[in-house]
Amino acid sequence: MRPSCSLSELGWYEGRTVAIEYRWAEGREERYAELAAEFVRLKVDVIVTSGTPAVIASMRATSSIPIVFATAGNPVGNNLVTSLASPGGNVTGLSTLGADLAGKRLEILREVVPALGRLAIMGNAANPFIRLELEEVQAAGHKIGLEVITLEIRGAKDIMPAFDTLKGGSDALYLCTDALANANRIKINILALGARLPTMHGSRDYVEAGGLMSFGPNFPDLFRRAADYVDKILHGTKPGNIPVEQPTKFDLIVNLITAKALGITVPSPLLARADEVME
């Protein structure tokens, strides 16, 4: 597989050889259908999006315009594609393996919190993929003897009440990554710090925003690889004939500033394995 390239490296220069229409849902999933419909009205040549709900909204808006997902969890399980090798239809892209990494994340979390007994999981239950991840984390937690508390949110207004239900009854928080969590990551990390909860995330952005740790795919790499899909489609390849690929780069990020604020000492072997340590 060739190294990932940006669109410009593939010969597509914005304003010269390609026009790009940008839209942002601001973490509000109810806007996905509206934005997808707008792209259809604009008769774009390809829609590039990220996250299962946004892909589903785009699929509902069009069955003819090619759709490339830069990130999506369990694209087969959520019926985005027929199979990874032969997506079929007008959709293809890159899988994040999000739910599949649950066990590894808990393993890392336990290294930092050896006395971990009760785990809180927070995720957007309105997102089909996050529902799968919540189940995966629950199963992984029970497998290693953890008591698991599931905090389902569907909007920003649900975050504070979710923390209120914990009332100090958890040893750590696992936050499922999606647009809703991303738009509210600073608020969630502030509340977690106030509750003295070490946090595990799926993306570096959350650790930059004050989270303790993250382990997951390198998202910039996935977005760069999405450019390869766009390039192939603009050169005439049908999306249904381009296999869905999985992550090849994974990052472990640790925030020692947050660890210090929580009074946690991160083991040296874990720091040695980390791809980045913020301090």
Structural contact between residues 189 and 216, judged by C-beta atoms closer than 8 angstroms: no
**Rounded average pLDDT over 137-143:** 95
Reported confidence tier of residue 2, pLDDT bands at 50, 70, 90: very low
**pLDDT of residue 216 exceeding 70:** yes
E runs forming strands in 118-196: 118-124, 147-153, 172-175
**pLDDT of residue 106 exceeding 90:** yes
Residues 238-248 have pLDDT tens digits of 999 999 999 98
Three-class DSSP category at 201: strand
**Rounded average pLDDT over 135-148:** 95
Backbone angles phi, psi at 261, to 5 degrees: -65, -30
pLDDT of residue 243: 97
Reported confidence tier of residue 96, pLDDT bands at 50, 70, 90: confident
pLDDT of residue 167: 82
**Rounded average pLDDT over 251-277:** 97
Reported confidence tier of residue 1, pLDDT bands at 50, 70, 90: very low
pLDDT of residue 77: 85
Spatial distance between the Cα atoms of 276 and 279, rounded to a whole number of angstroms: 10
Most confident of 16-30, 70-84, 197-211: 197-211
**pLDDT of residue 236 exceeding 60:** yes
| DSSP β-ladder status, 118-124 and 172-175 | parallel
**Rounded average pLDDT over 22-44:** 92
Spatial distance between the Cα atoms of 48 and 12, rounded to a whole number of angstroms: 15
**Rounded average pLDDT over 36-51:** 96
Residues 151-206 have pLDDT tens digits of 999 999 999 999 999 888 899 999 999 989 999 999 999 999 999 999 999 999 99
Q: What percent of the chain has pLDDT over 70?
A: 97
What mean pLDDT is reported for the chain?
93
Q: Which domains does the chain have, with CATH numbers?
A: 8-96+219-249 (3.40.50.2300), 99-216+251-278 (3.40.50.2300)
Residues 117-133 have pLDDT tens digits of 999 999 999 988 899 89
Per the structure block, which two tokens stand in for 45? 């040549």
**pLDDT of residue 109 exceeding 90:** yes
Q: What percent of the chain has pLDDT over 90?
A: 81
pLDDT of residue 4: 52
Reported confidence tier of residue 99, pLDDT bands at 50, 70, 90: low
pLDDT of residue 5: 62
- State the pTM of this model: 0.82
Spatial distance between the Cα atoms of 114 and 91, rounded to a whole number of angstroms: 43
Structural contact between residues 174 and 105, judged by C-beta atoms closer than 8 angstroms: yes
Spatial distance between the Cα atoms of 48 and 40, rounded to a whole number of angstroms: 12
